[in-house]
Structure 1
Amino acid sequence: MKREMTGAKMVVQALKDQGVDTVFGYPGGAVLPIYDEIFLQNDIRHILVRHEQGAVHAAEGYARSTGKPGVVLVTSGPGATNAVTGITDALMDSIPIIVLTGQVPTFMIGSDAFQEADTVGITRPCTKHNWLVKDTDKLAETIHEAFHVATSGRPGPVLIDIPKDVQFATGTYVPPKPSTSHYQPKVKGDIEEITELVAAIEKAKKPVFYTGGGVINSGPGASQLLRELVDATGFPITSTLMGLGAYPASGANWLGMLGMHGLYEANMAMHDCDLLIAVGARFDDRITGRIDAFSPNSIKAHIDIDPSSINKVIKTDIPIVGDVAHVLEDVLKIWKSRGRKTQAEAVQKWHAQIDEWRKVNCLAYRPSEKTIQPQYALQRLEALTKGHDRYVTTEVGQHQMWAAQFMGFEDPNRWMTSGGLGTMGYGFPASIGVQIAHPEALVINVAGDASWLMNMQEMGTAAQYDLPVKQFILNNERLGMVRQWQELLHGSRYSHSWSESLPDFVKLAEAFGAKGIHCDDPAKLDDAIMEMIEHPGPVIFDCVVEKHANCFPMIPSGKAHNEMLLGDASTEGAIESGGAVLV
C-alpha cells in the first residue's frame, strides 16, 4: 500500500521492510533528518561507531557472520570518504553491504558547499552499483533495488547518496515487491558443461577441489552440498583464506589452506593435480603464484556466479557460470545418475602421495620456554576456545596467516578476515559487528599491534554497548609482515617497520573501562587466555611474542607452488636458505 511520507521516514521504513535490525553509523548535518526518524522508532538498532571506516567494517562483520546484508549510515563529504576503504574491502571480498550517505541539498550540488564531495563519482569504482537520488518519489524504490543488487549474483557493496532536501521533502512510499529489476544473474549452470565436469571427475587420478569465499556467499546449502560431493568422491579439498569453514577442518579430505602462506601439501597437490575444480574462487594472485607455472598439467574447471571471473586470470577448460549451490546440486545429481564413478584406486594413491608431503610438517616451529612464539600462542588459543560458540576475526599481517594456519573452522560464517584488499584495521570493528549479531557468542579478534592501532578508537563502541569482544594482540613491536619481507627480500634493511612508542595496552583497556591482560611467559599463557575467555566484558590481551618470527610456508614472489620456503624446523626434503629452507 502506497503512503505519503518524508524521504527520511522512507529510508527507515524501507530498511524495516527489508528486515534490517541493525544500522552502523555516525551522524552529521547531511543525515540529521534520517537520524531524527531513527530516534522516533525502536525496531532498528543503531550502533554508534567512532569512525566511518569502522562502521563499514562492522557491517561487513555482521554480514559475513549472518549471511544478511550489513547497513551503514554516514554523512556527506568526509563521512562518505572515510567509508571508502571499507567499501573497497567489501567489493574485493564480495560482501553485501548497503551504504547510505547524506549529500548537500540538490540545489547546492556542484557549488563546493560545506562537506560536499562527489560521493557517487568517488565510489563508482569501489561499489557494485551506486545511485544519487534527486527525487523523493524514487527513494524507496531505489533502496529496495539496492538490496536486490547487493545480495544477488556475486554479492557486494552498493551506495545510495541522498541529498538533504530529498530527506525533508514528502513523497510516495512504495513497499518492496517481487523484483522486476533488469539485474537477474544466471544461477543455473549449463548442463552440458556440468556433464563435462562429471566426466572429468570420473576419469581423474589426481583431482583436487579448490574452494573459495563464493561457497560461503552462496549460503549454508552450498557448504552442505560441497561436503557431500567431497566425501562421496573422496577427492582432497583445499581452500583460500576466504573459504575456510566451508569444508570442516577436521574432515578426512581436508588439505588446509593453499596459497602464498598455505600448507605445503595443499600447494603441492595444486601443482601436481590432473583435475582442478575451482568452486567459488577467483584465482587470486596470492593463490596462483607464478601464473605460467600454476597447476601446469591439470584440466581446470571453474564454477563461479560472476561471468567476468571466468578466464580472467587462468584459462579454464570447463567454465560453469552459476550459483555454487545450484551447480553443485546438478553435479551431484548427474554424477550419481551415472553410477558414482571415480578412479578410486588411483585417488587412493594420490592421497598416499599427499600424506608423504604432509610429513614435511610445514608448520613446524622451534618452541621456547622463555619467549611466546606466535604460532604457540595461536595453538593455545585454538585449543582453549574451539569448544565454544566461537567467531574469529583478524587484522592483516603475519598474525592473520598464523591464525588461518593454526585455527580450525568446522562451519562457514565463523571466520572473518580481509582477503583481497588486505585492510589493516579491519578486524576490530568487524568483531564488533559480529558480536552485535551474536551477543552470546565468543568473538575473538586476532590482531597485530600495528594493525590494531589503526582503528583502536572503536574501543569506545565496545565499551558503550558493553560488547564482550576479545582483542588478542600478538605484540612483536613490529610491522611483522613488512619486516619479514625486508629480511627475506631487502637484505634485512628494516626501513620503518618497527614501533618505538606503543601504548601500554593494559592501561589503554582500563582507560576505556575494559579489562587489560598482559602475558609474556609461555608457562602462564593458558591461564591468561582462560581469564580473557571468562571475563564478561571487552578485553585487550597484550600477548608479547618473539619479535623476529617469520611466517612460513611462503611462496616467494614470482615463484611457483613447488618452490616454497619453509621454516628451518621443517627439515625433510629441504635445504637451508637464509634462515629458511627451500623446497
Structure 2
Amino acid sequence: MELQLTGAQILLECLKEQGVDTVFGYPGGTILDVYDALYQTSGISHYLVSHEQGAAHAADGYARSTGRVGVCFATSGPGATNLTTGIATAMADSSPIVAISCNVTSQLLGKNSFQEVDSTAVMRPITKWTHQVTDVAELADVVRAAFLVARSGRPGPVFLDITKDVTQTMTSYAPVHLSEHLARLEPGLLPEGLRASLEPPVVDEGAVDEVARLVLSSKRPMIICGGGVVRSRANGELNRFANLIDAPVAITVMGGGGFRGRDPLTTGMIGMHGSQASNMAVDNCDLLLALGCRFSDRIALQPDTFAAKAKVVQIDIDPREVGKNVHCEQAILGDVRQVLQLLLQRLEPEGQLDHSDWKEFVFSYPTETVYDEEEGHLTPKQVDSVVARLCPQDTIVSTDVGQHQMWAIQHFHYDYPGQLITSGGFGTMGFGLGAAIGAQVGNPTKRVIHVTGDGSFRMNCIELATEEHYKLPIITIIYDNEVLGMVHQWQTLIYNGHYSQTNLDRPPSWPDLARAYGLDGRRVSTVADFEDALREALDCGHGYVIDVVLDRDEMVRPMVPGGQHITNFLAV
C-alpha cells in the first residue's frame, strides 16, 4: 500500500524498515524537518549527544558491540564536518554505520550559503559510499542502498546528505521487504564494482583444498586472528579450527574477542607491542594463516622480513587487501566464517593434530609483560587484574588510544566479538566514551567499562553529560600519568628525552569534573583504594569516573620500533 509522506517521514519509515530503533544525533536548522517527524513518530529512540563527533562514535560503538548498523544524524556545515573523525574511524576498522546529514535546499547548493559545505566531497575518501539526495523520488531507494552497502561484504560507513527541500516534499512511499532491496535497486544508483561487492564472494574450493594440504604438512603452524574474524562473528569456528590443528593463535588489536584470550593456545597480541611469544612464533613458523588480517604497519613492521620462514596464507573478504602489504603464497577470498567452515569439513576427518614441540618453543616466551610490583605503586597489570576479577566476565571494554589501550588489550582476556571496542586503524583519541555510550545503549544488560588516558579523555569528556542524562552506568577508568603517555614513551626511548609538549599536569580534577556532570568520581593511587572505588562504581547504579594515578615513566612493553624486524624488541 502506497502512502503520501514527506521526505523526512520517508527517511524515518525506511530506518524502521531496516530494523533501526536507535539513533544518535544533534539537530540543527537544515535537519529540523527530520527531527519534527521524529517528534511525531514512534519506534525510534534518539540519544542527544554533546557533540556530533560523539554521535558518530556512539553509532560506531553500537555497531561493533551489537553487529547491527549504527545510525547518526547531524545538520549541515559544521554539523556534518564534525562527524568526519568518527566516520573515518569506522572506515579504518570496517564498522557499519550510516551517517545522515541534511544540507541547504537544492537551490542554495554551491552558493556559499549559511552552514553550507560540499559534505559529500569531504566524506567520499572516508566512506564505502557517499550520496547526496536532491530528488525525493529516489530517497527511499538511496536509504535502502545505504544499509546494504554498510553491512555487506567488508562492512563500513556510508554517508547520506539530503537537501532540506527533499525532507519537506511529499511523494509516495511503499514499504519493501529486506529481501527485495538489492533486486529493486536502480542499476545506476551504485557504482558497478560496489554493487558487485554486496554479494558474498564465491569461495574457491580448490584454494581451500590447497590450504588444507598445507595445514596437514606443516610442522610449525601459526594463526593470526584479525578483525575479519570479529566482523564475521567467526569465533566459534576459529576455536574449533585452532584446537583441531593445534596451532598457537596471535591476536591483532582489531581481533580482540575473535579468539578466547583465556584459551591455552593464545599467545597474546602481535606486532609493535605484541608479546614475545606472538612475535617469536610468527618469526619461526613454517605456515602462517592470517584470518581477516590486513598486515598493517603495526603488525608487519618490516614487511620484507615478516614471517620469512613461513608460507603465508591470507584469508580475507576484500580482494584489495590480499598481498597488499605482505606477500602470500596462497589466498582465499571470502567471508572468514564460511572459509573456516569449509576448512573444518576437510580437516576434521583427518583427526586431531599434535604440535607439542612447536608449542613448547612458542610458549617458552612470555605472553604477557611481567611488572615489578611495589607497595603503594600501581601498575597497569594490577589495575587490569582488579577489573577482570570484580567485573562480570562478559563486560564490554571500550578504549581510547594510547598506552592504556595497549595495556587493556595485553592484560584483559576477551571472549567474544564486540567485547573489545577500540580504534585500531585510525587511532582516534576521544573515541572511547562515545563508543561506550553506543555499546551501553545497544547492550543495556551488560556492564560497560571505558578505559582511557588523561590525554584522550580530555578530548571528548563532554559526553559525560550524555551518560548522566540517559542514566547509563558506564565506569570510566583513567590511567592518569599527567603526560601524553605513548608519545612520552617514544620521546624517552627514541628522542633522547626531549619531552616537547607532552606534559599534562594541568586541570581539571577528573573526580570534580565527574561531580560537576552529576556523576561520582574518586582519585586512587593504591591497589586497595582502586578496588574500593571499583566496587563502589559497580554498586552505585550510575556513571562513575575513577582517576588512577600512574607513574609517568611507566611504559608499554614489549615495544618494537616502527620499520624494525618484529623480534627487535627495544623494551621488554
1:206 equivalenced with 2:228 (yes/no)? no
| Matching residue of 2:191 | none
For residues 277-305 of structure 1, give each alpha carbon's deviation from its aligned partner in whole angstroms, at most 9, with x where no partner exists. Answer: 01111101101111111010110111110
The match for 1:254 among 256, 259, 266 is 266
Q: How far 1:458 moved relative to its partner?
A: 0.4
RMSD: 1.3
Q: How far 1:216 moved relative to its partner?
A: 1.2
Does the residue aligned with 1:491 lie in a helix, a strand or coil? coil
1:217 equivalenced with 2:223 (yes/no)? no
The match for 1:263 among 267, 275, 287 is 275
Q: Distance in 1 between matches of 2:58 and 2:214?
A: 42
The 4+ residue runs of structure 1 with deviation greater than 4 A are: none
Q: How far 1:176 moved relative to its partner?
A: 3.1
> For 1:28-43, what aligned pairs fall within 5 Å after superposition?
28-43=28-43
| Matching residue of 1:429 | 434
Does the residue aligned with 1:100 lie in a helix, a strand or coil? strand
Moved more, 550-559 or 49-58: 550-559
| Matching residue of 2:85 | 85
| Matching residue of 1:139 | 139
Q: Which amino acid aligns with 2:203?
A: G
| Matching residue of 1:329 | 341
| Matching residue of 1:163 | 163
Q: Distance in 1 between matches of 2:73 and 2:390?
A: 37
For residues 420-472 of structure 1, give each alpha carbon's deviation from its aligned partner in whole angstroms, at most 9, with x where no partner exists. Answer: 00000000110011111112221100010110110011011011101111110
Does the residue aligned with 1:367 lie in a helix, a strand or coil? coil
1:239 equivalenced with 2:251 (yes/no)? yes
The answer (yes or no) to whether the contact 1:477–1:502 under 8 Å persists in 2 is: no
The answer (yes or no) to whether the contact 1:186–1:321 under 8 Å persists in 2 is: no
Q: Which amino acid aligns with 2:508?
A: P
Q: Which amino acid aligns with 2:218?
A: A
Q: Distance in 1 between matches of 2:403 and 2:506?
A: 20
| Matching residue of 1:471 | 476
The answer (yes or no) to whether the contact 2:231–2:417 under 8 Å persists in 1 is: no
Q: Which amino acid aligns with 1:294?
A: F
Q: Distance in 1 between matches of 2:313 and 2:352?
A: 18
Moved more, 176-185 or 253-262: 176-185
Q: How far 1:356 moved relative to its partner?
A: 1.6
For residues 530-576 of structure 1, give each alpha carbon's deviation from its aligned partner in whole angstroms, at most 9, with x where no partner exists. Answer: 11222210001111111210110011122111211334xxxxxxxxx
> For 1:495-514, what aligned pairs fall within 5 Å after superposition?
495-514=500-519
TM normalised by structure 1 equals: 0.94
Q: How far 1:150 moved relative to its partner?
A: 0.4
The answer (yes or no) to whether the contact 1:140–1:175 under 8 Å persists in 2 is: no
Does the residue aligned with 2:397 lie in a helix, a strand or coil? strand
The answer (yes or no) to whether the contact 1:417–1:427 under 8 Å persists in 2 is: yes
The answer (yes or no) to whether the contact 2:69–2:98 under 8 Å persists in 1 is: yes
The answer (yes or no) to whether the contact 1:202–1:341 under 8 Å persists in 2 is: no
1:438 equivalenced with 2:452 (yes/no)? no
For residues 43-82 of structure 1, give each alpha carbon's deviation from its aligned partner in whole angstroms, at most 9, with x where no partner exists. Answer: 0000000101100000111001100010011001001100
1:363 equivalenced with 2:369 (yes/no)? yes
Q: How far 1:388 moved relative to its partner?
A: 4.5
| Matching residue of 1:573 | none
For residues 168-215 of structure 1, give each alpha carbon's deviation from its aligned partner in whole angstroms, at most 9, with x where no partner exists. Answer: 001222433422253333333101111110000000111011111111
| Matching residue of 2:522 | 517
> For 1:51-200, what aligned pairs fall within 5 Å after superposition?
51-177=51-177, 178=180, 179-180=182-183, 182-183=195-196, 184-200=198-214
The answer (yes or no) to whether the contact 2:11–2:140 under 8 Å persists in 1 is: yes
Q: Distance in 1 between matches of 2:96 and 2:174?
A: 23
Q: How far 1:348 moved relative to its partner?
A: 1.3
Q: Distance in 2 between matches of 1:312 and 1:172?
A: 47
| Matching residue of 1:392 | 397
> For 1:532-571, what aligned pairs fall within 5 Å after superposition?
532-567=537-572
Q: Distance in 1 between matches of 2:107 and 2:232?
A: 42
The answer (yes or no) to whether the contact 1:305–1:323 under 8 Å persists in 2 is: yes
Does the residue aligned with 1:566 lie in a helix, a strand or coil? coil
| Matching residue of 1:417 | 422
Q: How far 1:139 moved relative to its partner?
A: 0.2
| Matching residue of 2:310 | 298
Does the residue aligned with 1:565 lie in a helix, a strand or coil? coil
Does the residue aligned with 2:365 lie in a helix, a strand or coil? helix
For residues 375-399 of structure 1, give each alpha carbon's deviation from its aligned partner in whole angstroms, at most 9, with x where no partner exists. Answer: 32222222222x3441100010000
Q: Distance in 2 between matches of 1:540 and 1:437?
A: 21
For residues 127-148 of structure 1, give each alpha carbon's deviation from its aligned partner in whole angstroms, at most 9, with x where no partner exists. Answer: 0001111110100110001000
The answer (yes or no) to whether the contact 2:297–2:562 under 8 Å persists in 1 is: no
1:3 equivalenced with 2:3 (yes/no)? yes
- Identity, % of aligned positions: 39
Runs (5+) with no aligned partner, structure 2: 186-194
Q: How far 1:371 moved relative to its partner?
A: 2.4
| Matching residue of 2:188 | none
Moved more, 516-525 or 225-234: 516-525
Does the residue aligned with 1:296 lie in a helix, a strand or coil? coil
The answer (yes or no) to whether the contact 2:222–2:289 under 8 Å persists in 1 is: yes
The answer (yes or no) to whether the contact 1:372–1:544 under 8 Å persists in 2 is: yes
> For 1:8-47, what aligned pairs fall within 5 Å after superposition?
8-47=8-47
The answer (yes or no) to whether the contact 2:394–2:419 under 8 Å persists in 1 is: no
Does the residue aligned with 1:42 lie in a helix, a strand or coil? coil
Q: Which amino acid aligns with 1:87?
A: I
Q: How far 1:362 moved relative to its partner?
A: 5.1
Q: Which amino acid aligns with 1:539?
A: Y
Q: Which amino acid aligns with 1:81?
A: T
Q: Distance in 2 between matches of 1:555 and 1:362?
A: 15
Matched residue count: 558
For residues 237-279 of structure 1, give each alpha carbon's deviation from its aligned partner in whole angstroms, at most 9, with x where no partner exists. Answer: 1110111111111112111111111111011101111100011
| Matching residue of 1:226 | 238
The answer (yes or no) to whether the contact 2:394–2:415 under 8 Å persists in 1 is: no
Q: How far 1:522 moved relative to its partner?
A: 3.0
| Matching residue of 2:291 | 279
Residue 383 to residue 66, structure 1, CA distance change in 2 (3 Å): same
Q: Distance in 2 between matches of 1:18 and 1:519?
A: 46
Q: Which amino acid aligns with 2:253?
A: L
Q: Distance in 2 between matches of 1:174 and 1:283?
A: 45
| Matching residue of 1:572 | none
Q: Distance in 2 between matches of 1:380 and 1:225?
A: 31
